Structure 1
Amino acid sequence: MERLLPADPSVIGGHRLAGRLGAGGMGVVYLARSPHGAWCALKVIRAEYAGDPGFRARFRREAELASGLTGRWTVPVVAADADARSPWLATAYVPGPSLAEAVALHGPWPAVQLRSLGTALAEALDGVHTAGLVHRDVKPANVLLAADGPRLIDFGIARAVGATALTTDGSVVGSPGYLSPEQARGHTVGPPSDVFSLGCVLAHTATGRPPFGTGGAAAVLYRTVHEEPDLDGVPEGLEGIVRRCLAKEPKSRPSARELVDFFGEFASGNWLPEGLPALVAARAARVLDLPVPEPTMVTGPSSVEPAETPSSPTRRRLLVAGAALGVTAVAGTGAWWRWGRDSASANQGSVKRTRHVVALFGNPDGAFFTAHERGALLAVEEHNQDARRTVDLVLRTADDRGTAKGSAEAAARLAADPDVSVVIAAGTNATVPAALPPCTEARLTVLITRADTSDITAVNTTSALVLRTTQTIGPGAALRYLNRVAKPARTVIVHDLATEAEGLGTVRIATSHGKLNSEPVVEEVAADEDFTGAARRIAARPRDAVLFAGVNPDRAAALARALQDAGHRGARLAGEHVLAAPFVAVGEGWWIGTGYTDASADPRTKAFAAAFRARHGDSPGPWAAEAYDAVRFAAQGLATLGDDGRSTLRSELLRRPWQGVTRRFSFEPGSQFFRANEDGGEFLFRVRGGAARFVSRSDDIGKKT
């Protein structure tokens, strides 16, 4: 359990909060005392969902259904309020470790105890399904261990069978490694999906490892859809039923009731493996020592209703006093921080304005940082020249030194500085993920412009927003060119195993998600292999299109040369990461999908390009327009929040779409991924004369390409 944050309320619906049990994509879970003195787990749904009447209706219906769950192995709902500013739901508190923690500490379970676990969880799911619900997030972390048996918890993303889904079709809700193939594909799910997840839980408990491996979300989802589970180590006599649970087709899986019959009676006196009863007892004893919760101090607009909270000091004073990361914020703390031009005219005239620092975070020696900085500075200066503004902006830059370690250290300092309201992350796939944990801990909003790794698109990233589509859906503009213009009969996806994880998103989107109109064929090339053999096989059908699923420019250049030598004549495409000197020199004619535009060539960014040239004396480089949009996107959110923008900005930005010069900023309501729509900020370039030249925005492909 973690302490309450300064912005957390003291009381919700008469429940006195004692601490934080966790936070995820849907909300925050608190430990609380009910009005009658009982401990409970109180989950508050995030503010971005509260404005959706449809969500409130579904939440109310599902809370009513969940309150009818009276099974022995589910925790009862003790209170709920769908009409609160932020809807909340309270369940009985189970003061035991999770199954995930138990397996990590004490290893795999023997067959006898595994059967009892299977019986209890199958019985819990049978009750859930009988009540008309689908859990949708059965995983070891959502199974708590009490002395008398396990409890299935967290119906935060459950939905009523047959009801409108909480997310649009095509998004992924659940936890990679434990969700079903139909969830991985973004399809509608039913009770068989929970059975698949239960099979994953039992396999993990029996072997100590997830059945579809570990790694990035894209890789795990790909294996879930296409590969068989790793069941080596599942006890004899149980391997068959677990394998049936993990069938790819929902209709081939047993029902929860069949599983109860198979596993048999729950062995109440011997259900925990050796060593775990003591751990369970120790955790249960902890709650007895908890003090009576004291009031917290809410420092501004909160995601929950702040009942019975006293007046608070300023946001900045509280954040310093809170020492969110144990790091003291001191002016002039060294080379990690570079002060930019203070272009804010603080509170001039009769308009009362608040001041917000925007920190641009990246490596000043990196290839695109200067373009980011100049674009951001232009946005700040234009904003501060508007006489109608209600907030002033100051741009400052922070140096991540181009390393993951430097990124984490600089992010910790930013998170501890109470003046910083928002971070624009201009770093790379290697540095940005390391910056997220300290910012998430301090509830400091991070807007990510350039990085596109799957490591930053996890649903439990609660402080960041990725302002672009990512590798998890492949190079969108290139895919659209294939479907609308090239229209080949077949497309060969060259999966370069030298960068296997990075290419999995492109492979998955073209195969299991069926985003190509042409027939997809995957050609794998080992990390220690050149592309000569693959190119010859591809050239046997010279009009087939080729889509390179890789990110290494040298490897892409080797493929380009091999295809040229083999006589291939079809369309050739790749993503933005190949655009470096080795590839551009030999990739004549290749089509490239990017997340950034050429502001000087893009017809929709002419005004920005002219203003940029007037301010800086030269043309905007890659990512300048995207940084300009990121600052403006943050500014319009901060303007609605007054002095307290740090902890609530992300929720505000999720509320409604916003149109920038490069793209429309809109996010999926459930996964909170950037929405890849017709104006999703994807761009098409072509390599000509030794340079990558802008061709079109994604939504214009096929109209004038």
Structure 2
Amino acid sequence: MERLRPADPSSVGGHRLVGRLGAGGMGVVYLARSPHGAWVALKVIREEYAGDPGFRARFRRETELAARLTSRWTVPVLTADADARAPWLATAYVPGLPLSEALALYGPWPSGQVRTLGAALAAALDDVHRAGLVHRDVKPANVLLAADGPRLIDFGIARAVGATALTTDGSVIGSPGYLSPEQARGRTVGPPSDVFSLGCVLARTATGRPPFGAGGAAAVLYRTVREDPDLAGVPEELAPTLRACLAKEPGDRPTISRLLSSFGEFTAESWLPPGLPALVADRAARVLDLPVPEPTALSEAPFTDTPPAPSRRRLLIASAAAGVSAVGGGSAWWRWGRSGTPGSAKGPLPNRTIALLGDLSTAVVQAQVRGAQLAVVQHNARSDRTFDLALRTADDQGTAAGSAAAAARLVAAREVYAVIGAGTNAAVPAAVPVCTEAGVCLLVTRADSTALNGTNTTSSLNLRSTRTTGPGAVVKYLNVVARPARTVVVHDLTDADDGEATVRGVTVYGMLTVGRVEVAEVAGGTGFTDVAHGLAAHPDTAVLFAGGLPARAAACAQALTDAGHRGFHGGDEHILGRPFLKAGTGWWISTGYCDPSADPKTRAFAAAYRTRYRTAPPPWAAEAYDAVGYAAHGLAAPSSDERESLRAELMRRPWQGITRRYSYESQTQYLETDQDGGWFLYRVENGRARFVARHDDIKNLAKKKTS
């Protein structure tokens, strides 16, 4: 449990808050005392959801459904308010620890205790389903171990069977590694989905590892949909039942009643493995002995139907925020030639420092420094600003150790409100835990590593479309312009991980919507001659290269050229390098960076960059410019006095930059890429990659082709 932060309320709905139990995409959960003195877990929904009347109606309906639950193995909803400024609900507080923490501390459980745990959780799901609900997020973190047995908690994304969910079908909602194949595909789910998740939880409890492995979310989802679970180490007497729970098709899984018969009755005596009973008791004692703290800075609690009158300073900041949002809808916030007098009659404006971290000896990082400097200058020339910006740079020397050390120096300075991670895959991931520990938002502009897939659990935000979603611009070109009858994904197993995202995107997630899709695997270190000759016999077949090594992509391109294949060839930015640029003439490439000089939507930026630096802006300069603008957008929010709140403000306040729209999906916290998500299409010509179009403008290429 964390202490309350200065921006937290002291009370909500008459409940006195004591500490933070956790936070997620939907809101914050507090430990609180009710007006009658009882301990409760009180969840406050984030205000961006509260602005949607439809959300309030769904929240009210699903809260009422959850309140029907009277199961011994769930935690009852005590009270709620769907009409408050920030909707909230309070459940009984059960002292204990999550199953996820217990497994991390003590490892796998013996067979008998796994069976007993399964009996209680199956009984809990039986009651949930009888109440007309589907939990949809059964995972170890949502299983609370109490002295008298487990509790299934957190119905934040539960929904009524057959009713409209908090998100529409087509959205993936839940926790990768524990959600069902139908959830992974974004389809409608029912009680069998919870059975699948229960099987994952029990397999993890029995073996100490998730049945579909670890790693990036996309890789885990792929294995969930396509591969068999890893049940090695599951006790023989449990294996058939768990394997049945993990069937790919919902109809092939056992019913809850069958599971209840299989697991038998819950036995309270010795249901926890050795060591855990004492830990559970100690955890309970710590919480119940807590004193009620002094009021926080927000002692009047903003979560009321009538918020307190804002101070003059908050009105100024709110006005600035509204102004930035209004400008973002039509044109970018950087209006060239706009100027004003710094400060005001009341004295100088407050200062907010943004730091940029990268290998300062490289041209690509220097381009980002210049782009960021230009954004700072333009911000400080605004007459309506409510704070001044400053830019600080730090050299990570291109290494993980250098990145961690430099990040530690930056976050130690309280005037630093955000860090721009401008470095490479080798360096940026090492800055993530450092910034997270300090509560400082790390904005990642360029790095595209699977090590950054878990940034939704940190204080970081990926500001770019990543390889996790595949080569978006190239796939869109195939869908709306080329429209091949057949596409072959050449998966280079030399660096299999780099190519997996592309393979998953077109096979599991159905990104490629035209023609037939096949995958041709090329063993690590071997040549592409055989694949190329096979493709040459079908010149209309499109080729999509799945791999990240420029030399290997060059070998593939040369083999296709030698074999006489003249069809479509495409890949992503990671293969761009001298060997490939020489051999890959005519290839189409999807990137996460624009060409400001060639893109009509960034020409004003390019002109200002040339005026200031006497040269054309290189790749990534505009993206770093946007990173500063996006940070300034968040800092204009009323809670900007606390740097720890910046990420939350950015998450809830979409913004249109010059390179893309910054908007994040509330559950996964990934950049939304369907609309202006920051993909750009290039074509290799004369030894260089030439900008062709933004992702959203590719449809115009189809019109030109038919005209």
CA contact (8 A) 1:9 1:306 kept: no
How far residue 301 of structure 1 moved from its aligned partner, in angstroms, is 12
Give the structure 1 partner of residue 264 of structure 2.
Answer: 264
Give the structure 2 partner of residue 588 of structure 1.
Answer: 585
> SS state of the match for residue 661, structure 1?
coil
CA contact (8 A) 2:411 2:435 kept: yes
Q: Give the 3 Å change call, closer, same or farther, for CA 388–117 of structure 1 in structure 2.
A: same
Give the structure 1 partner of residue 407 of structure 2.
Answer: 411
> SS state of the match for residue 295, structure 1?
coil
> SS state of the match for residue 427, structure 1?
coil
Q: Pick the aligned partner of 1:681 from 678, 683, 687.
A: 678
Matched, 1:546 2:543: yes
Q: Pick the aligned partner of 1:633 from 616, 619, 630.
A: 630
Give the structure 1 partner of residue 287 of structure 2.
Answer: 287
Give the structure 1 partner of residue 562 of structure 2.
Answer: 565
5 Å-filtered alignment, 1:338-353, equals 346-349=342-345, 353=349
> SS state of the match for residue 197, structure 2?
helix
- Deviations 1:667-693 (CA, angstroms, capped at 9, x unpaired): 223323212124222111011111111
Q: Distance in 2 between matches of 1:547 and 1:689?
A: 21
Comparing 584-593 with 34-43, greater Cα deviation is found at 34-43
Give the structure 2 partner of residue 665 of structure 1.
Answer: 662
Q: Pick the aligned partner of 1:463 from 459, 464, 467.
A: 459
Which amino acid in 2 is paired with 1:385? A
Matched, 1:370 2:366: yes
> SS state of the match for residue 186, structure 1?
coil
How far residue 381 of structure 1 moved from its aligned partner, in angstroms, is 1.2
CA contact (8 A) 1:51 1:655 kept: no
CA contact (8 A) 1:217 1:455 kept: no
Which amino acid in 2 is paired with 1:354? P
Comparing 260-269 with 684-693, greater Cα deviation is found at 260-269
Structure with the largest fraction of helix: 2
> SS state of the match for residue 703, structure 1?
helix
> SS state of the match for residue 457, structure 2?
coil
- Deviations 1:403-428 (CA, angstroms, capped at 9, x unpaired): 22332333333333221222222223
> SS state of the match for residue 165, structure 1?
coil
CA contact (8 A) 1:7 1:302 kept: no
Q: Distance in 1 between matches of 2:457 and 2:341?
A: 34
Give the structure 1 partner of residue 322 of structure 2.
Answer: none
Q: Distance in 2 between matches of 1:530 and 1:697?
A: 33
Give the structure 1 partner of residue 489 of structure 2.
Answer: 493
- Deviations 1:513-543 (CA, angstroms, capped at 9, x unpaired): 1111121111223334333343344334343
Which amino acid in 2 is paired with 1:568? H
How far residue 457 of structure 1 moved from its aligned partner, in angstroms, is 4.3
Give the structure 2 partner of residue 237 of structure 1.
Answer: 237
CA contact (8 A) 2:455 2:461 kept: no
CA contact (8 A) 2:132 2:161 kept: yes
> SS state of the match for residue 70, structure 1?
coil
CA contact (8 A) 2:219 2:501 kept: yes
Give the structure, 1 or 2, with the largest relative contact order (CA under 8 Å, sep 6 or more). Answer: 1
CA contact (8 A) 2:639 2:645 kept: no
CA contact (8 A) 1:376 1:631 kept: yes
Give the number of aligned pairs: 675
Which amino acid in 1 is paired with 2:109? W
Which amino acid in 2 is paired with 1:203? A
How far residue 619 of structure 1 moved from its aligned partner, in angstroms, is 0.2
Q: Distance in 2 between matches of 1:302 and 1:345?
A: 37
Q: Distance in 1 between matches of 2:136 and 2:24?
A: 15
CA contact (8 A) 2:591 2:681 kept: yes
Give the structure 2 partner of residue 610 of structure 1.
Answer: 607
CA contact (8 A) 1:366 1:402 kept: no
Q: Distance in 2 between matches of 1:234 and 1:703?
A: 55
Q: Pick the aligned partner of 1:620 from 617, 621, 626.
A: 617
5 Å-filtered alignment, 1:304-319, equals none
Q: Distance in 2 between matches of 1:84 and 1:526?
A: 59
Q: Give the 3 Å change call, closer, same or farther, for CA 680–511 of structure 1 in structure 2.
A: same
How far residue 67 of structure 1 moved from its aligned partner, in angstroms, is 1.8
Comparing 684-693 with 229-238, greater Cα deviation is found at 229-238
Which amino acid in 2 is paired with 1:478? V
CA contact (8 A) 1:44 1:86 kept: yes
CA contact (8 A) 2:74 2:151 kept: yes
Give the structure 2 partner of residue 534 of structure 1.
Answer: 531
Q: Distance in 2 between matches of 1:181 and 1:144?
A: 25
How far residue 182 of structure 1 moved from its aligned partner, in angstroms, is 1.5
Q: Distance in 2 between matches of 1:24 and 1:501?
A: 29
> SS state of the match for residue 704, structure 1?
helix
How far residue 369 of structure 1 moved from its aligned partner, in angstroms, is 1.0
Q: Distance in 1 between matches of 2:244 and 2:94?
A: 31
Give the structure 1 partner of residue 643 of structure 2.
Answer: 646
For structure 2, the residue ranges without an aligned partner over 5 or more in a row are: 315-338, 703-707
Which amino acid in 2 is paired with 1:636? H
Give the structure 2 partner of residue 325 of structure 1.
Answer: none
Q: Distance in 1 between matches of 2:550 and 2:83?
A: 53
Q: Give the 3 Å change call, closer, same or farther, for CA 655–460 of structure 1 in structure 2.
A: closer
Comparing 522-531 with 207-216, greater Cα deviation is found at 522-531
Q: Pick the aligned partner of 1:394 from 390, 393, 396.
A: 390
Q: Distance in 1 between matches of 2:487 and 2:37?
A: 64
Q: Give the 3 Å change call, closer, same or farther, for CA 31–642 of structure 1 in structure 2.
A: closer
> SS state of the match for residue 125, structure 1?
helix
> SS state of the match for residue 701, structure 1?
helix
CA contact (8 A) 2:545 2:570 kept: yes
Q: Distance in 2 between matches of 1:209 and 1:597?
A: 41
CA contact (8 A) 1:99 1:144 kept: yes
Q: Give the 3 Å change call, closer, same or farther, for CA 418–344 of structure 1 in structure 2.
A: farther
Give the structure 2 partner of residue 329 of structure 1.
Answer: none
Matched, 1:524 2:558: no
CA contact (8 A) 2:359 2:397 kept: yes
Q: Please tell me the root mean square deviation across aligned C-alpha atoms, in Å.
A: 2.9
Give the structure 2 partner of residue 445 of structure 1.
Answer: 441
Q: Distance in 2 between matches of 1:161 and 1:413?
A: 51
Give the structure 2 partner of residue 318 of structure 1.
Answer: none
Q: Distance in 2 between matches of 1:402 and 1:430?
A: 7
Q: Give the 3 Å change call, closer, same or farther, for CA 13–432 of structure 1 in structure 2.
A: farther
CA contact (8 A) 2:433 2:458 kept: no
Q: Give the 3 Å change call, closer, same or farther, for CA 366–73 of structure 1 in structure 2.
A: farther
- Deviations 1:626-647 (CA, angstroms, capped at 9, x unpaired): 2222222222332343752623
- Deviations 1:386-440 (CA, angstroms, capped at 9, x unpaired): 2222222112222233222332333333333221222222223333333233333
CA contact (8 A) 1:9 1:307 kept: no
Q: Distance in 1 between matches of 2:448 and 2:491?
A: 18
Q: Distance in 1 between matches of 2:98 and 2:226?
A: 29
How far residue 296 of structure 1 moved from its aligned partner, in angstroms, is 5.0
Q: Distance in 2 between matches of 1:688 and 1:437?
A: 41
Matched, 1:276 2:273: no
How far residue 74 of structure 1 moved from its aligned partner, in angstroms, is 0.6
Q: Give the 3 Å change call, closer, same or farther, for CA 654–107 of structure 1 in structure 2.
A: closer
> SS state of the match for residue 395, structure 1?
strand
Q: Give the 3 Å change call, closer, same or farther, for CA 162–52 of structure 1 in structure 2.
A: same
For structure 1, the residue ranges without an aligned partner over 5 or more in a row are: 316-342
How far residue 168 of structure 1 moved from its aligned partner, in angstroms, is 4.3
Q: Distance in 2 between matches of 1:55 and 1:397?
A: 42
Q: Distance in 2 between matches of 1:49 and 1:351?
A: 38
Which amino acid in 2 is paired with 1:238? L
How far residue 351 of structure 1 moved from its aligned partner, in angstroms, is 8.8
Comparing 366-375 with 1-10, greater Cα deviation is found at 1-10
Matched, 1:215 2:230: no
How far residue 302 of structure 1 moved from its aligned partner, in angstroms, is 8.9
Q: Give the 3 Å change call, closer, same or farther, for CA 360–8 of structure 1 in structure 2.
A: same
CA contact (8 A) 1:75 1:153 kept: yes
Q: Distance in 2 between matches of 1:643 and 1:651?
A: 10
Comparing 140-149 with 529-538, greater Cα deviation is found at 529-538
